[in-house]
Structure 1
């Protein structure tokens, strides 16, 4: 298929890779965080809630710069990781980290709303029958919140696909290594004659985003029907 050139395909493939890793790696932490915010009372809960949603408020460039300061090779965490051979700055793995951080609030919010919609009495009933908290979550809460988890994961994936500011600040825009789909669009718009390539990638971006949104609605609805019918 010649509609997209090699550099354009590289950007699309890398974006898919980055978005998938960003979504699946952050999903367990997102579920745990959403459950903690929805069900637990602890000191600093509002601070945690603010930190989770901070990437939605801060300019993406600021988030990317903070990641560079923290996880860069000169940063406190990045320097330690470099000693064991783990480097995020200016690598595709860093793009996944940046995309995951930016998408995390959307994931947590979707899952948290699902958890808050579950009647706590159902969980309490299972506990009174002798089930452990982990077993209650696995057998009662998790099936009921599955539509929210699926919706949150797909929305996070779509957000990661479109992430630009934090990514380009943290990992730059290196073709074939860190140049994701939004970065490639930006790069093509900076060179004469690159408008057609940029337009093609814009169409791909819109198609992926719309597909993700429709899938989110469709899968969540199907799972919700099965849960209600169970």
Structure 2
């Protein structure tokens, strides 16, 4: 794939991801390449690549003779997803704190690490702005960018890869509760990065785990408050 085609598939993939998360393409809905190419005004090649990437994130399913379709809503998997996040993301925060200590000591200077750390500041500042403007759809995207950046800060390709596999479902769940949890959760991100910057490995892991648990508890409280669907 050429660089231009790859860029196109990433761009259209981001659009399809948001449309899945916000219900434009409902769970179980067919995702036909020709129709999507027309809708997003691209050729079928970037659509095909985008669907493959979204399948890897758990947002799309492909079945023999049936083509691609939107995966079921992750609500039934929510408890498992939060438990996975607690284990995985506390480990990423701990590793990121270890690397931060190395950067502070000059033990292993890394320009890439510093670039990611700068990006995190930009993400946090952008989140403050969208909360002030109540643009919560944007906050869901920024939230996932923050957690990805922490994984990248850890320097572990395995952590990044594992988080990517569930990132679509994480963002989907977050978007369902973003107006309730988002303004509460965002300041917690600064607590996480403060522990990482201080090189406090155990504290970074603890603060991250607490952050995810609070998101879990808020999500299930939101679900419990919803009226039951009549049969």
TM-score scaled by length of structure 1? 0.26
Q: Which has the larger radius of gyration?
A: 1
Q: Looking at both structures, which has the greater relative contact order when contacts are Cα pairs under 8 Å and sequence separation is at least 6?
A: 1
Write 1 or 2 for the structure with the bigger share of strand: 2
TM-score scaled by length of structure 2? 0.26
